[in-house]
Amino acid sequence: MLSDENALKFSELFDLAELQKIQDSFSELTGIASIITLPDGQPVTQPSNFNSLCKIICKSDKRHINCLKSETQLTQMSFNSGYVHIQPCLRTGLWNTGVCIVVGGVHVANWMIGQVKNDELDINEIIEYGETIGISTKEITEAYEQVPFMTGEKLKSISTFLNSIVTELAQKALYKYRHKQITSENNALKKEIKHIKSNYEIRLNHINQGVVAIDPDSRIIYHNSASYSIFNLQPDTYKGFSIYDFAIEIYNIRGEKIDIRDHFANLIADNLNPIENVLLGISVNKGKIIWIKLNSNHIYSAENKLLEVIFSFEDVTIEKNNNDGYIETIQFLRKTQQIASIATYTTRPQEDKWYGSKSLYEILGLNNQRIRSHKEWVDLIHPDFKGEIINCVDDIVSNNKTSYSRSYKIIKQHNNEERWVHDNGVVIRNNEDNTLTVVGTLQDITDLKKEEEQAQLNEEKYKMIFENALDVYYKIDTTDYKVCEISPALKHYTKIKREDIIGQKYNKFCIFEEKWQEFKEKIHAEKRIHDYCTNLYVSGEGLIPVSISANLTYDNYGNPTHIEGFIRDISQRKHMEDMLRLSESRLRSYIEFSPYAVVVWTTSKQLTEVNHAASRITGYNSEELLSMDISLLVADVDRTKFTRHIQKAIDYGLAADELQIQTKSGKIKHVIADTVRMSENEYIGFLSDISYRKRIENSLKQKQYQLEEGEKIAGIGYALINFNKGSWESSSMMDQIIGIDEKYEKKIENWINIIHPDMLEKLKNDFLNEFIPKRLPTMEAEFKIIRQNDHQERWLNVVGKSEFDTNGRIISLGFTLQDITEKKKWVDILYGNEALYRSIINASPDVIVVIGLDGTVKTISPIVKQMYITEDINSIVGHSIFEFIHPDEHERVKNNLKLMFEEYIGSIEYQMIRSNGEVFTSEINGDIIKDNNDNPTGMVFIIRDITQRKQAEDNLSKSKQQLREFAGHLQSIREEEKIALAREIHDDLGQILVAMKIDMGILKKKLTNPLNGLSAESIDKEMTKMLDLTNKTIGIARRIMSDLRSETLNHLGFIEAATIYINNFRERFKINCKFEKNVDKIELSQEQTVALYRILQESLSNIVKHANATNIKVAVCSTNKTLTFQIEDNGCGFDMNSPGKINSYGLIGMKERVTLLDGNINIESHVGAGTSIRIEIPILP
């Protein structure tokens, strides 16, 4: 472990050029992308085998480096956890992994690999991401096709392989780093070594042994005077030179030349123990060999570092030469034993001692073990031969035999292999015939035994073939052309016995005189004939087609002696040839009209024959196909696979693979290609279009994957109970649910421990009394269990399918099992929440609607029936919310929906459409529905019908406007009334008063002037005139006051006042006005009386002014709590839709008066059909 992390630099640890080559070779071998980065993601090597998909996704250097930095998290995770992590790239979804390069416990780099795809990859996500960064779908798709496919398991195995490579590289780098440190330290010790060595040089020159000192770099730093004389060298000749620089040859004790570099490298290794008395042969300058006995010692510093190696040696040439003869003899003997697989042994029975040569232990398969006794030897003998060998030994000893020879089997100890051995021995006895020593040889004869057995088998096989072969073997003497030998196969051709033919002329067997001369000349000319076809006449059988092979044999002098060969009946072959020609004709027809594409090509891949189906599948016509190389039909992605396909057809004669081909239009099709080698240079292929099947398979795989993932997500386990075996099998998810491991004994009776005691009796009763007697095919149940690993109570849902035999006995029960404990808890909560939710929805006066992100209505409250005017709520659920919004509002709704995802926008008014087409105004307030991950899943809205409110607001607005206008009108009326009153006072009352004033002045003058002589009659006349004016003035004043306020109304009430007013109206305007009432007197408040009286006045005044009516009807009807007052005329009427009419000040005044009385007024009028005013006000009973 290196403590100083900063001391490690990547460039000092590794050779980048060499590392790049290793990386490139790894990528070429595995077919995946590869790059090496620093721990922070900075690349240190060039990318290897990067695919074009990643290149276009990470076009910029910055994006590429950021990608590498993000992927380094993989290696960090692997480094921390200790096992391989694989995960998809965040940009492309391609699968990556990596290995940390750790040197001495320090993380110095990452080796990233990957950029592969598998079944889990969705290209649509890559295309979608590509569009966000401006890359076209075509470019993404083309690049995706080139991405290699690899399963996760294979990627993991490659990562494991890479880890072993990285481990070795890290070890080498650590060694390099440490070696550099050691070298630096060694340099510091050279001076100390030199000082130490100088102290010994004088002493070494005074000893008889040669001494040579060598530094760790193999350079001679000292050699004493004794070494000069031994090697016949001049003093200091080689001092300072490497020991490898002068011509020296070294030989081992066997006289074999050894490499000086390897030898001295081992001798000076600092971890080697000192050597003692090693015998070496030395030849200097290719002279004679001097044999020396060599010793060495390693000199270390105080820090235990090697300073030098000191060799001491003495000349032992004479001793060596004396021993060579003995050594050569021993070696010769061992070589002989080794070559012949013969070993020697010696045993002393009386001492029970056993000795053997090295070859013996090799034969017996013993390494370092030695045989010490007779018993140990017997233990090595094969059990089938032990008794025999023991008896043989006893026989030799007891019967005084002097030698023995035997074969038996042994068992080799190191591999338990059975081997045959042959044992020869000599018994040495003393004068009393007691056995002293047994000397023997042991030879491994296993191969010889096998050859003997094989020869015996071959002989039996040959005999069987000779006697049972269908071909007739013959041998004819060329001297007289008599048959020397003929095989028993003759019986297949003729009834003539074999014995009757041997020794007879050839024509005894066959007559083909017209061919014989030709055959004889041919065999003597060509020496050998193969497949000579002719018709052979067989006595009693007639002519049959045969194939004759013949070989001419010679004696030692080159003279022909025999004709031998075989005669084969080719009747069946001839028939097969005819059938073959017929089959070939049929094959041609089949090929031409086959529904499969049939193509023939040569070894150069040139198409030579195609059928119609080939044109149909590929889109090329026959002429185009016959000019093409067949590999051009294969899609780029399968070119390598097609090459392997061709190689299989070459190696094995046939091949079958699924391939992708590219049609003329560029479309990719999947085919099954079956290729057969017809000849050495020609192949035929059958292509079946399976594109549709592949689409179905891919769909099924996707559904299968979704199902498996769904089971994992849903936590569904599976089990199968086998009632015949009394056991059950289960999936890992099932084991996890019920809390068992692989050691759990899965017997049926163990379910008693799993099922909760409260549920056990019921389940047992249902199963035995319901399920089995009724042979129910399926079952579904919910029950509790005791989870075995933690003893928790869990609720399970089980759905099963059973299988019964013909006797009604249950055979098996397969079922799925799901833990629904949490689900049941949440269901209870959900039921409560749902009930509350339903109550809120049902009780809400406003419509509550939940819609999906696509605008489809999912749920809606029942009040919508009233708003939308429908009885079927299903006519709304499942439809788009835009179907119920006015088209003019669609764009505004879409814009506001987008804003909802950004901020709360409050209540908004929209125009909506009822089922009958009526447009109404609604107020909508909504919010976004999100899941636990804060992802939007839908929207909820509260819709309120504000049509009446809007109408009330409009009416209120209109009423306010009308009131403002009416107030102005009232002010104008007051001014007009003042003017009218002033006019009446001025015109009527004022003139009368002026006239009265004039008359009173004239009267006064007459009365005061006695000369006038007024009589009583004239005075009375004047006074009467003045009284008339006074009365007229009073009447006018009363009329004015009555117009301002009727006194009759105050004293007589509304009914009587209305009667008087109507009578005066009738008299004044000469219009027929009828007054109907169901009461003569009614109790009304002051406000009610005045309001009704003024409405009567206004109505009759409007009729006179505008209606041109001839008949008027006024009706008063009083009930217990309501007074109805109605005025109708037969005048010209008016248009109710005309704002000028319905909003006239007279009608506005009437509405305001009725409103103040908490009453209702209804005005109806039609042009040419008169007008009706109906008023209802509440009264006291």
Domain residues of the chain, as ranges? 5-181, 205-324, 356-451, 469-569, 584-694, 713-725+740-797+805-817, 844-945, 1045-1181
pLDDT digits (tens, 9 = 90+) for 364-404: 887 666 777 777 888 888 888 888 888 887 777 777 777 88
Topology given in CATH for the domain delimited by 1045-1181: Heat Shock Protein 90 (3.30.565)
Distance of alpha carbon 255 from alpha carbon 380, whole angstroms: 37
DSSP alpha helix (H) spans, 491-552:
498-501, 513-526
Residue with tokens 């232990």: 361
Can you tell me the mean pLDDT for 687-711? 81
For residue 234, pLDDT over 70 is answered with no
DSSP strand pairing (435-444 vs 342-348): antiparallel
Secondary element (H or E) of residue 17: helix 16-30
Please give the full DSSP string across 390-403, using - where no structure is assigned: HHHHHHHHHTT-SE
Look up the pTM and report it: 0.29
Regarding the domain with residue range 469-569, which homologous superfamily does it belong to in the CATH classification? Answer: PAS domain (3.30.450.20)
At 1061 the pLDDT is 85
Least confident of 436-450, 507-521, 898-912, 1009-1023: 507-521
List, for residues 819-846, the tens digit of each pLDDT value.
888 888 887 777 777 777 777 777 778 8
Per DSSP, what are the bridge partners of residue 297? 310
Taking domain 713-725+740-797+805-817, whether its CATH number is 3.30.450 is answered by yes
Count, residues in the chain: 1181
pLDDT at 976 over 70: no
Whole-angstrom Cα Rg for the chain = 64
- Stretch 789-815: mean pLDDT, rounded? 88
* Confidence class for position 243, pLDDT limits 50, 70, 90: low
Lowest pLDDT segment from 285-294, 522-531, 747-756: 285-294
C-beta separation of 946 from 954 below 8 A: no
616-634 pLDDT tens trace: 889 999 889 988 899 899 9
- pLDDT at position 662, please? 92
Check pLDDT > 70 for residue 652.
Answer: yes
Protein fold of 584-694: Beta-Lactamase (3.30.450)
CB–CB of 1163/1125 below 8 Å? no
Q: Given this chain, do its domains 205-324 and 1045-1181 carry the same CATH topology?
A: no
Distance CA 973, CA 1044 (A): 13
Q: Supply the pLDDT for residue 209.
A: 76
Distance CA 841, CA 873 (A): 14
pLDDT reading at 1 higher than 50 = no
Q: How far apart are CA 206 and CA 287, in angstroms?
A: 27
Both tokens of 199, joined, read 């102290």
Per-residue pLDDT tens over the stretch 171-227: 888 888 787 777 777 776 776 666 666 665 666 666 667 777 788 777 887 777 777
What is the three-class DSSP state of 178?
helix
pLDDT of residue 668: 92
CA distances from 517 to 282, 307, 478, 535 (A): 80, 97, 13, 15
Give 556's contacts (C-beta < 8 A, 6+ positions apart).
none
CATH superfamily assigned to domain 5-181: GAF domain (3.30.450.40)
What confidence tier does 1011 reach under pLDDT thresholds 50, 70, 90?
low
Q: What is the pLDDT of residue 1175?
A: 92
pLDDT above 70 (res 70): no
Residue 5 has pLDDT above 50, yes or no: no
pLDDT for 1127 beyond 90? yes
How many C-beta neighbours within 10 Å does residue 617 have? 20
Alpha-carbon gap, residue 1055 to 1083, rounded angstroms: 10
pLDDT digits (tens, 9 = 90+) for 412-424: 888 888 889 888 8
**Residues 642/632, Cβ–Cβ less than 8 Å:** no
Q: What is the mean pLDDT of residues 474-491?
A: 83
What pLDDT, in 10s, does the model give residues 955-970?
777 777 766 665 666 5
* CATH C-level class of 205-324: alpha beta
Print burial letters for 730-769: b (CB count within 10 Å at least 16), e (below 16): bbebbbbbbbbeeebebeeeebeebbeeebeeebeeeeee
Residue 857 has pLDDT above 80, yes or no: yes
272: how many CB neighbours lie within 10 A of its CB?
Answer: 13
Structural tokens at position 360: 């013996």
Whole-number mean pLDDT of the chain?
80
Q: How many CA atoms lie within 13 A of 632 on its CB side?
A: 13
| Banded model confidence at residue 503, pLDDT cuts 50, 70, 90 | confident
Cα separation of 649 and 643, whole Å?
10
CATH 3.40.50.10310 fits 356-451, yes or no: no
Q: Are 1062 and 1048 in contact (CB under 8 A)?
A: no
Fold category of 844-945 in CATH: Beta-Lactamase (3.30.450)
Burial bucket for residue 1140 (CB in 10 Å: 0-12, 13-18, 19+): exposed
